[in-house]
Amino acid sequence: MKQEDSLSTLSLAILGLISQNPQSGYDIRKVFSTTPLGHFSSSPGAIYPALRRIEANGWIRAAGRREKTGRPRTVYQITSRGLAVLKRHLSQPVTRGHIVWHMDDLMLRFAFMDQIVGREKTLRFLRAFASEIDAYVPILRSYLKSATDTLPPCGRLAMEQGIAGYEMNVQWAKRAAKELARGARDSRKERS
């Protein structure tokens, strides 16, 4: 037993990819090693055991070996339980803890969110993301101000880099929300 709703970052990436379309371990490795999503593992020693774990939890299942072309592959597809877990994970609220310690997980959630839980929730996510950071940045700033005398110059600059990163994320999230909202309006228009 275990299998709570919690997903490691790698499991999230794999489950998200498989949810988009069924694929094999090799396919996933290629995505990780050839696309910029590949700030991930991509090593067989990470991927295949992870697939086993996810399968053991009943979140994916092997759907037929081998293609017509020849070499045996194992293509996995997501199960309904897997989809439920993914949805739950993607629906988690954005907390300060996520902002500070799990930014990578947040971005991954965002990347899959639209297709799994819909545009509406994605927009809410972006707003929560931006406002959590907005609340956090002043704290960092005030720490920086209070420590600026005791900090070595490079320590201060390193902190400024961190703050600049957070501010960039706020700007990005606002822009992204605008674009996605516009996209939603457009597609409503198209449908009508």
For position 73 contacting DNA by CB under 7 A, the verdict is: yes
Q: What part of residues 16-55 is at the interface with DNA (CB under 7 A)?
A: 24-27, 29, 41, 43-46, 48-51, 53
Residue number with CB closer to its own copies (52 or 96): 96
What is the identity of the amino acid at 188?
Answer: R
Residue number with CB closer to its own copies (62 or 83): 83
With beta carbons less than 8 A apart as the criterion, state whether 133 and 99 touch.
yes
With beta carbons less than 8 A apart as the criterion, state whether 98 and 12 touch.
no
Quote the tokens at residue 56: 């053991």
For position 122 contacting its own copies by CB under 8 A, the verdict is: yes
Cα–Cα distances (Å) from 109 to 80, 86, 88, 152, in that order, read 18, 9, 11, 36
Q: How far is the CB of 58 from its own copies (least distance, A)?
A: 26
SS3 label, residue 24: strand
Q: What part of residues 159-178 is at the interface with its own copies (CB under 8 A)?
A: 159-162, 164-165, 168-169, 171-172, 176
Residues 10 and 13: their CA atoms lie apart, in Å, by: 5
Residues that bind its own copies (CB under 8 A): 20, 35-36, 39, 100-101, 107, 110-115, 122, 140, 143, 147, 152-155, 157-162, 164-165, 168-169, 171-172, 176, 179-180, 183
